[in-house]
Each structure stands twice: as C-alpha cells, then as structure tokens.
Structure 1
Amino acid sequence: MKLRAICARTAWALSLFCPIFAHAAIPVQHWTQSTGAKVYLIESPAIAMVDVQIDFDAGSRRVTADRSGLAGVTASLLSKGVAARGSAPALDENALGEAWADLGAQFGASAGADRFSFSLRSLTEADLLDQAVRLAARQIAEPSFPAEVWQRDRQRLIAQLKESYTRPASVVAREFGKVLYSGHPYGFELNEATLNRISVADMQAFHASYITRCHARVSIVGALTRAQADVAVAGLLSRLPATDCAKAPPLPVVPEVPPLDRAQLLRIPFDSAQAHVMIGQPGFKRNDPDFFALTVGNYILGGGGFVSRLTDEVREKRGLSYSVFSYFSPGRHAGAFTLGLQTRPDQAAQATEVARQVLTRFVSEGPLEAELQAAKDNLIGGFPLQLDSNRKLLGSLSGIAWNDLPLDYLDTWTAQIAKVSAADIKSAFARKLQPEKMVTVIVGAAP
C-alpha cells in the first residue's frame, strides 16, 4: 500500500514539471453520454495518471439567504463518511482517508458561487483506477452526512467566523459583497445564524436535488483514451439515481444581479494599522463577448501588479499604498469588478480619491498604445505557464466545459488577446463600468 502512495507522489511530482502541450495544439474531445452527462477529454499520455473534475450546477447561488453556506458545508461533509449500500459497508472519515491513502489517490469536493465540484486524481493502472472510481462513486452518490460530525464541524466553523470578524480584510470583503450584490445569492452572508439553521436533512435534500447525472459536466486530463474515459465517467456516476433527462424538470432560474443605480459609501470604524478599501460594481458574465478586451484592459488598469496604472499612480507617484489592484470575477451572473487597496488610516480618503480618478480616466480614455503592447506581451508570454501541468490544464478544460466555450478556446486564446485594440478596451470598459455609481467600502479609516 505504501508503495502505491510513493508511486502516486512520484507521478504527481513529475506532472508538476513536465511541460504538456506548451507549444502545440490541444485537442479537446467532447461527447454526451446516454445518461446526459457531458464529457470533455484531453489525452495526455506522458504520465500514467489522470485528473478528473465533475461539476454540477449546485453552487451557493442555489441556496436561500437563510441557509447561506449550505453548499459549502454539504461539500465538506461528503468526505466524512459514506452509507452502507448492499454488500458495501459504511465507511467513516478515518476509513475513507485510509482507503484513499491505500490507493495512492486523492478525492475531494468543493462548492463555489456557481458550481459544486468533485475532483479525483489517480494513477491509471487498471486495477487501481477501477478501485478509485468505485470508491469515488460511493462518495459522490452515498454520503452519510453524520450528524455528530456536523455538530463538531459547525462549532469549528462558527469559531472561524468569529475570528474572521477580527480581521479588517474579512470585514471589508463581506460588507462589499452584501452591498454590491444587493440581495442576489452571490452576496448572501454566511454567519452564525445561517449555520445554526442548517441541518443534515438540508444537506441531504440539497444533494438529492442538484447532484444528478443529467447535470454533470466531466473534465478529464490524463493517460486515458476516449473509450477508457467514457467507462470511467460511467463508473463515477453509476450510483446516482437513473433519471430520464428529457422528462426531468429544469433547475430553478436564478435572477440576474441587479445593476447599481447610485453611488454608495460605507465607512466602518475598525482599530487596525491599515485601512482596507474596496470599490466596485457588478461586472459581466463569463460568456460576454467583451471578455478578452476586459481581460487585457484590466491587466493595464490594475491586474498587472507593479506594471499597472493604479500601482504607478497610487503607489509609485504618491506613496499612498504598497499594494493596489483591480480584477473582474465573471460567472454565470455578473460577478464583481473590484478595485482594492490598503493604506494608512489617515491616508484612506486621499488614496481612495486617487484610485477613483485613475479608474474614471481609464474608463473615459482607454489605454495608451505602449501600455496595450506591454500587456499583450506579458499575457501571451505567460500563457504557456497556465498549461504546463495536468492539474492546470484541467482547470482550463473545466472552464471550457462549464462556460460552453469553443473546443479550440485554448488554441485561439493568444490570437484573441493579440487582436484586442485600444478602441476595443475603451468601448468595453465604457459599456461595463460606471465609476459614478460604484460601491465604496472603507474599513479602519479615521472619520
């Protein structure tokens, strides 16, 4: 058993350093199984291992405000035990951990704003992979959700929440999300009250409602052929209830993020050495045609680290902040555009005003040609580093699967970046951002 784990660790280590498809086309295969599951595969035979991600439309956007946190805690408890079914015995969290260690494999579950994900990493030796698939299938479909473990974990989560209230970075992010998303599930607050309302029955109902074969999107990168991958996916989903996807009711519609109609300023007193500032508004969906123009433009504005315009104006010229940044968070709905910085409390007002001025000017005028070329060079030059391991490649492939992107998306990414013009960026930012209507949250500043 130990030898298996050593072999697995060796293969995983090699996968971190072995360049994969760095300078070649990346063929993505796609098909839909009879169960309704959509499968995306990149064959990578260099190392005898496979990475799998299974995504379901079951993120926190599917949870009501009074049960905020339900998706995340459901994912957490999936690793704490599986129920007995037929001849298969129940396994508690210790037995599960030992079983995965014996296989030299890894399995986990997580939940984000939009999707609920399972991940599997295994060697592709037939016997080992078969055992890993069968164990993962049990964990996906037959979690036991042990009540005593939930009571323990709930107290731990509440303690972590209380500790987060002592950190200004946590406070500013929480308040910023609540105000910016204005009642949309993206902004629902996880707190002690919502955790105390969540029961094991809630987790069971959530799991039964959303973890179904019809809505599975499976991304695979590794040393498997299409036929082998199809068998593995069928095995992973085999213990979920069989459903006629044509007759299954559609998932409930989640409303869009409402646009902001006015500027809002929220000052929160906080005894801290640094004031934390967030400025922003709802941005755009991931499938927006302006994606590439906004990606390049944000690199110039605040996403390029020390070469960004915000850093130059706020930090280099005025010394108002060590770090200042901006980013978009596109999802199934309009994720936030966020401009953030930290500064001395007595400089918060000045730093905030300078950042606003830089943003307003960029939206109005767009980038300079020199800034544009430098951004393109950096983004295109760094792109191969996003694909130099199976795990990174899986992240990109799951993005293609989840967002219904073209199968040649990775092959055309650099060309899409290269053709972005200054005019494209200016018009895209003008369509998406309204600096005069943004939310500003300042935590820790002097009155």
Structure 2
Amino acid sequence: MTAKFLIPLMLLLLPTAQAIDIQRWTTAEGTQVLLVARHDNPIVDMEISFKGAGSVFNPDNKNQVAEFTAALLTGGTRKLDEEAFNEKTNDAAVNIAAAADQESASVSLRSLSKPHHLKQAVTLLNQALTAPRFAPEVFRRRQNQAITALQQMETMPGFNAGRAFTRLAYPHHPYGSSAKVSITGLKNVTLDDIRAFHRTRYGKDNAVVAIVGDVGRRQAEKLVREALKGLPEQAAAERRVPPVAQQTAGRTEIPFAGEQAHVILGMPLITRKDPDYYALVAGNYILGGGGFDSRLMQQLRDRKGYTYGVHSSLEPAAEAGAFSISFSTQKQNTRAALADTQAVVEQFIAEGPTEDELRQAKANIIGSFPLRFDSNAKLLGYLTLIGEYDLPDDYLEAYPKAVEKLTVEQIKEVWQRRVDPKNLHIVVVGAE
C-alpha cells in the first residue's frame, strides 16, 4: 500500500474530537468561570489563574518576584506553618500546587468530590490564596534554590543560547525579562516585594477559574465563592502587556567550551488570537515542528548528518510570541548547518508546502488533537487557556476544523507575508 493511501487510512484510525460542553459565566466581581462537568470519577480538578501575575510583571532589578510569590503560597498560611499545611493536605488527600508562568500565576487543586473532602480542600486553597504565611525561612530556601539553579543552567549552552535569543527578540519588552535574571537580581528580592506583588496582583476581577470533574453548576458557583473569599475585589496593578516593537535582525556569537555548538534562529511572530494562527501552526509543523517528517530534519539530519535533531516551535502569547528554530551540531559544521537551515526556510517561504506535506500535517495535527485533552488535568489546562485569552467556547471543536480547511496557497501567503528570512535573529553559542 502506498503512502498516498496510507494517510487517509490513518485519518480513519485516529481518535476524533468530541464536543466538550463548557459552561462559562462571569461573577459579579468579574471572575471568569469555566466548568466541564464529568461524573464518571469522584474527583474534582480546579485551577485559579490570575492574569497579570506572571514573570513579565516582575519589578525592575528584582528577579522572579512572581515565581517566588506563587511558590510561597503553598509554603504555609497564617494559621499553619509549611509542615502543618503539608500534613493537612496529605490527611485530606488533597493536592494543592502553585506556579507562575510568563503572563499569569495559578493555583491548582485536586480533590475527591465527596462534600467533606471538597470542603477541606477548598478551605486550604482559600487560606493559601488569601493568607499566605510568607515565612522568611521558606523564602530563603527558595531564593537559594533559585540561585543554585541559575548557576547550573549558566553552564549549559542551550540555556545561554535561549537567553541570548530572548535578548535579541525582546530587547526592550517585558517578554525579555527572563533573559535578565541574575544572581544580584535574585538577591535583591525581599519579602516586602513578594507581599506587595501578592496584594496588588491577586484579585477577584483578574481571576479565571477552571473546574473539571464531579460537580454541577450550582456547586461550582459555591466552590468559586469559597475559594476566592477574602481576596481583594480588584487587582490594583496594571496587567496589560505592551505590543512588541518591530526590529531588524540581530546576531550574537558566544564562545563556549565543548565540541558542540548550539544554534537558534527566530523572531517574534504569533499571538494567541492571531488571525493567521492555524496557517502558522500547520506551516511550522511542515517546516520543523513535525519531527522526522519535517523539512529541516530531512535536510540537516537525514541528508547531511549535521545533527541528531532540529526543531522549530511557536510560542503564542498575548502579544507576539516567538517563532524559533534550534539545533546542536559539531562546531566545525556550524556554518554549513546554519546556511542549510536558512536555505530550507527561504525555499519553504518562497514555494510554500506541497499538497502531500499539508495532507500529512493535517493528519497529525487533527488526529492527535483529542489526545491533548484526554484527561481531566489536560482539559483543565485548556479551560484556563480559553479563559485567560478570551478564546471562544467552541475553541476545542473549531481548532481541527480550521486546520482541515487550510490550503497550500493560504499557508504560502501567510508565511510570505509574516516571516522574512532576512529578519531572523541568529544566535550561535559555541562559535569557533
């Protein structure tokens, strides 16, 4: 059987997306709630995210305030020290975690759905959110861990390449703040900074609550009220991300010990609500996101043997997130591998994909899409995404349909209009 007939057969065998019944509403305080009721297991997953509480909002010269704030939410409360808080969650069979990403911070909960279990879980979650202990000894431990982690990462060429690329792509934008993390900046952070960040960026009006599991609408409304009780009605701090300014291409070469060089090419490109979103996603799959099927992998690995793997990726955000291509290669092959990479990109943009490439990309993207939310935990993440970026209720059903409608001509037009090969930033760590 030829590949021409295998792809349609694969489409028949792959799982298909089923409609997800998302109940969505906004409370009087401005909290957005998204609920998917699933009663097959007696478990409730809940995530509360706060728009504007991520790392791009860290104060100048004070690194990871957002990250420290989120981490310390589970480091004890006014009533319970860290050890007692952990004991309470273990006794109640509850998992509570918190973290900050680029644009938001979140606290998540997993609990049995039986009323007494769920009540204990939400009470602990509320205490963590509204009355964190911010214990000095816990903060010092987290601070020392962050410093040690930074020192270790600075020995890795991939980390240094990523940081150099971020500096080029976002030199004066908050998205570039991660490239400015330093030991001094970590040491500059105080508990007063963390308290102020929590006080001004965790409010009811910027909260998005996602719930998946064994609860109905009325019970979910009660859970939200109890979880957020005691938070400020409004978050006082600004939470809008400014647009990313256009810039000309930059190039950075950094000497680094070892036999391998690490190369990154890319530029700011894609937003979460980008009108060209699906054409960019499908084109990226064909160019370098599709593993062994991608053009870059076929050229740099299969034909030339320059690398074990090359990958292109998209990082959509509220404003223009990065498009990047990265690979490692022997130092003596760096120039040739970089030139071949640029040639593949230029040819793809000039000619667009082939019909066979697009057919294969559709088969993979559409066929594997239901696997992205085949568990409650995965679906919870998508509900948070939909709420944070104000995506439509039918996003999960619309995504594969939009990909299916794409044509070769559409992808070619979008990539020619949006990506100029001559405007890609280039970073080489380990340059000879």
Tell me if 1:259 matches 2:246. Answer: yes
| Equivalent residues in 2 for 1:173-212, closer than 5 Å | 173-188=162-177, 189-212=180-203
Which residue number corresponds to residue 70 of structure 2?
A: 75
Tell me if 1:356 matches 2:345. Answer: no
Q: Secondary structure at the match of 1:239?
A: coil
Which residue number corresponds to residue 232 of structure 1?
A: 223
Aligned-pair identity (%): 38
Given that residues 369 and 422 in structure 1 are in contact (C-alpha distance below 8 angstroms), is that contact kept between their aligned partners in structure 2? yes
| Equivalent residues in 2 for 1:136-285, closer than 5 Å | 136-188=125-177, 189-241=180-232, 243=233, 251=238, 253-261=240-248, 263-285=249-271
Counterpart residue identity of residue 68, structure 1: N
Q: Secondary structure at the match of 1:66?
A: coil
Counterpart residue identity of residue 302, structure 1: G
Matches of 1:358 and 1:26 in 2, distance apart? 39
Matches of 2:414 and 2:272 in 1, distance apart? 14
Partner residue of 1:115 out of 99, 104, 128: 104
| Greater Cα shift, 403-412 or 369-378 | 403-412
Which residue number corresponds to residue 61 of structure 1?
A: 56
TM-score (norm 2): 0.93
Tell me if 1:45 matches 2:34. Answer: no
Given that residues 37 and 214 in structure 1 are in contact (C-alpha distance below 8 angstroms), is that contact kept between their aligned partners in structure 2? yes
Matches of 1:249 and 1:71 in 2, distance apart? 15
Matches of 2:333 and 2:373 in 1, distance apart? 41
Matches of 1:39 and 1:337 in 2, distance apart? 31
Which residue number corresponds to residue 87 of structure 1?
A: none
Given that residues 44 and 222 in structure 1 are in contact (C-alpha distance below 8 angstroms), is that contact kept between their aligned partners in structure 2? yes
Which residue number corresponds to residue 31 of structure 1?
A: 25
Runs of 4+ in 1 over 3 A off after TM superposition: none
Counterpart residue identity of residue 243, structure 2: E
Q: Secondary structure at the match of 1:361?
A: helix
Matches of 1:176 and 1:118 in 2, distance apart? 30
Partner residue of 1:393 out of 376, 379, 383: 379
Given that residues 260 and 438 in structure 1 are in contact (C-alpha distance below 8 angstroms), is that contact kept between their aligned partners in structure 2? no
Given that residues 201 and 236 in structure 2 are in contact (C-alpha distance below 8 angstroms), is that contact kept between their aligned partners in structure 1? no
| Alpha-carbon distance change, 389 to 252 in structure 1, aligned in 2, over 3 angstroms | closer
| Alpha-carbon distance change, 252 to 157 in structure 1, aligned in 2, over 3 angstroms | closer
Matches of 2:46 and 2:240 in 1, distance apart? 28
| Equivalent residues in 2 for 1:3-42, closer than 5 Å | 23-42=17-36
Matches of 1:249 and 1:130 in 2, distance apart? 29
| Greater Cα shift, 62-71 or 346-355 | 62-71
Deviation at 1:305, TM superposition (A): 0.5
Given that residues 22 and 387 in structure 1 are in contact (C-alpha distance below 8 angstroms), is that contact kept between their aligned partners in structure 2? no
Which residue number corresponds to residue 329 of structure 1?
A: 315
Matches of 1:251 and 1:345 in 2, distance apart? 45
Given that residues 182 and 258 in structure 1 are in contact (C-alpha distance below 8 angstroms), is that contact kept between their aligned partners in structure 2? no
Deviation at 1:46, TM superposition (A): 0.9
Which residue number corresponds to residue 12 of structure 2?
A: none
Given that residues 92 and 121 in structure 2 are in contact (C-alpha distance below 8 angstroms), is that contact kept between their aligned partners in structure 1? yes
Partner residue of 1:128 out of 105, 112, 117: 117
Matches of 2:387 and 2:33 in 1, distance apart? 8
Q: Secondary structure at the match of 1:81?
A: coil
Which residue number corresponds to residue 431 of structure 1?
A: 417
Counterpart residue identity of residue 119, structure 1: S
Which residue number corresponds to residue 365 of structure 2?
A: 379
Which residue number corresponds to residue 11 of structure 2?
A: none
Which residue number corresponds to residue 103 of structure 1?
A: 92
Matches of 1:415 and 1:144 in 2, distance apart? 47
Deviation at 1:239, TM superposition (A): 2.2
Q: CA-atom RMSD, angstroms? A: 1.5
Q: Secondary structure at the match of 2:110?
A: strand
Unaligned runs of 5+ in 2: 1-14
Q: Secondary structure at the match of 1:132?
A: helix
Deviation at 1:222, TM superposition (A): 0.6
Matches of 1:431 and 1:91 in 2, distance apart? 56
Deviation at 1:171, TM superposition (A): 1.0
Which residue number corresponds to residue 10 of structure 1?
A: none
Deviation at 1:23, TM superposition (A): 4.9
